[in-house]
Structure 1
Amino acid sequence: MSKTILMTTAAATAALLAAPLQAQDDASSAFEEAIGAPQPVTNYPDPWPLQNLIEDGVLTVGTTGSSPPRTFVDPNSGELTGSYVELFEKLAEDLGLEIEFVQLDWAGILPGLAANRFDLACDGASWNPERLGSDQFLMTSPTGLNATVGITTSDTGLTSFDDVASGTIGGVRGEIYFEGAQEALPDAEAVDFPGLQESLLGLMNGQAEVIVMNLSNALSVMEDSPMAEDLVLVGPALEVFPQSLCVNPNEPDLLVAVNTLLGNYRADGTLSELIGKYATSTAEVDLLNRIGY
């Protein structure tokens, strides 16, 4: 009798718990059906009242111009181009601003924001605790996912980071991927370079066995570089991380504006379209939902 009562009580309790959950599922489905496809936000200020721009009416952007396919100099036209160059231009247009690019090495980008040299920067800065908590710059919502990999030449016979545990690794000075690889491979000798092209030259000259970089850059190099046939991808990835743009710390209003527009570009497909225009895959955008974006 007691067993029967307990079983009946348990069944009733389960039914009572399930009912609210079913109601929630039904409500969620109805809500999604009512809204339909992702809807960009349209009721924002136009023009946006930005108070602390470096120059009134101008969005000043710091970029390396040496991180293909996101930002690079077209060898035929000599013009700055790339998916993130177009993203910066789109942001400026939608904010009702002219745009001015300032080119400099990566090592000067974040200090340049802190020194009030530009309003917006970073061709996808990787998240870490120090950057997210910094008072030297602000980080936007993610624009993509990336990963730390390496590139080597086929004659080294290397295919994984385990193979280079005590070898020589190279990378761009100040880049988080290179710094992370040095921590992951403490016995490896490290050689730093001012930029991506210099690091690739160092690889060909034998200054480093493996050049560490983000996966986006690595895929671009292996597709477009004149020496692509001699290059091998080194993995698996040491780290996977979200990346974003960086905003001048004196301009929290610009952060709000940029985050609003980035959300729109995710919703209406603009961000994926810009990435796909210059890269073979849009996975870095498509997989943002894996981290809740």
Structure 2
Amino acid sequence: MLKTGLATSALALMLAAVPALAQDAAATAFEQAIGAPQPVKNYPAPWPLKNLIKDGVLTVGTTGASPPRTFVDPATSELTGSYVELFEKLAEDLGLEIEFVQLEWAGILPGLAAGRFDLACDGASWNPERLGSDQFLMTSPTGLNATVGITTKDSGVTSFEDVGDAVVGGVRGEIYFEGAKKALPEAETAEFPGLQESLMGLMNGQAGVIVMNLSNALNTLEESPVKDQLAMVGPALEVFPQSLCVNPNEPDLLVAVNTMLGNYRADGSLSALIGKYATSTAEVDLLNRIGY
């Protein structure tokens, strides 16, 4: 009986393993058949988009004040950056001309809701309110980001736990700043209209720490004229995916943009655009950690 029992158990284990082995073999064959990641090719060209603000034109709202994603090149006075090029690539691949509308961040999301742009946001962070909003639509992620701070090296602040009575500054309306207010409810705060103004506020003593996203912080520490006086404040208060935002009346544009973004992730062009302006492409390369 013992031998029979052992044989039966062994047979049961072997039979149970067959489906798993078959699945592994099928998965391997499927992967080999498909090959390396590749973009989707069967999409309309040009893509028929029904509710654009202007026929044949992709109207994009951007701050032009969030390097390295969007900024004005001081040498040419032209709008440039990784996300400016991303918007231009989207327009080209969708068969559209492009027109930028430059304004402060506080006006971007209301501008979408009011129908001023088709597309906007050089990386809007996800939260329940935004994902569930009827004022705009959010695309699939274009990158990961995090809330960090910048301070002066002589401030004595090395982490958010050291903030104490230091004034915490940030850009008016940005989710990173709003999140920092909630995380540091006792801190006095100072609002600024843009990133450069907040950095000036730090240097002239209006704020002891300025809050921003990690992408902007790394660029500031790399490119700012006063970078030798600056230090990072961490660890990050929050880590989150970011995406572009679409006019709520243009669900067909959302489908088109999501298709293109999937292609850019597959063929490496999204990572290449980020790497052209930033010291790291980790924000794109790590999207697979959240299923993209």
Q: Tell me whether the two structures share a fold, i.e. TM-score over 0.5.
A: yes
CA deviations over 1:47-102 (Å, ceiling 9, x no partner): 10100000001000000000000000001110000000000000000111110000
How big is the alpha-carbon RMSD for the aligned residues of Structure 1 and Structure 2? 1.2
Which position in structure 1 is the counterpart of 2:145?
146
- Counterpart of 2:105, as a letter, is W
> In 1, Cα distance between the equivalents of 2:80 and 2:73?
6
> In 2, Cα distance between the equivalents of 1:291 and 1:156?
36
Which position in structure 2 is the counterpart of 1:28?
27
Instruction: Report the CA distance shift for 1:33/1:116 in structure 2 as closer, same or farther (over 3 A).
Output: same
Length-normalised TM-score, structure 2: 0.97
Gaps of 5+ in 1: none
> In 1, Cα distance between the equivalents of 2:82 and 2:12?
55
Which position in structure 2 is the counterpart of 1:244?
243
Is 1:192 aligned to residue 188 of structure 2?
Answer: no
Which position in structure 1 is the counterpart of 2:102?
103
- Counterpart of 1:15, as a letter, is M
Which position in structure 2 is the counterpart of 1:64?
63
> In 2, Cα distance between the equivalents of 1:193 and 1:13?
68
Instruction: Report the CA distance shift for 1:93/1:6 in structure 2 as closer, same or farther (over 3 A).
Output: same
- Counterpart of 1:160, as a letter, is S
In the alignment, is the contact (CA less than 8 A) between 1:150 and 1:211 conserved in 2? yes
SS in 1 for 2:87: helix
SS in 1 for 2:212: strand
> In 2, Cα distance between the equivalents of 1:254 and 1:10?
57
Structure 1 residue 190, shift from structure 2 partner: 1.3
SS in 2 for 1:219: helix
CA deviations over 1:184-228 (Å, ceiling 9, x no partner): 111111111111011001100111111000000000000000000
In the alignment, is the contact (CA less than 8 A) between 1:165 and 1:185 conserved in 2? no
> In 2, Cα distance between the equivalents of 1:42 and 1:152?
47
Structure 1 residue 20, shift from structure 2 partner: 1.1
> In 2, Cα distance between the equivalents of 1:277 and 1:98?
23
Instruction: Report the CA distance shift for 1:196/1:17 in structure 2 as closer, same or farther (over 3 A).
Output: same
> In 2, Cα distance between the equivalents of 1:69 and 1:168?
26
> In 1, Cα distance between the equivalents of 2:59 and 2:139?
16
Question: Which runs of at least 4 in structure 1 moved beyond 4 Å after TM superposition?
Answer: 3-10
- Counterpart of 1:282, as a letter, is T
> In 2, Cα distance between the equivalents of 1:128 and 1:108?
19
- Counterpart of 2:35, as a letter, is G
In the alignment, is the contact (CA less than 8 A) between 1:154 and 1:231 conserved in 2? yes
Structure 1 residue 4, shift from structure 2 partner: 5.9
Is 1:44 aligned to residue 79 of structure 2?
Answer: no
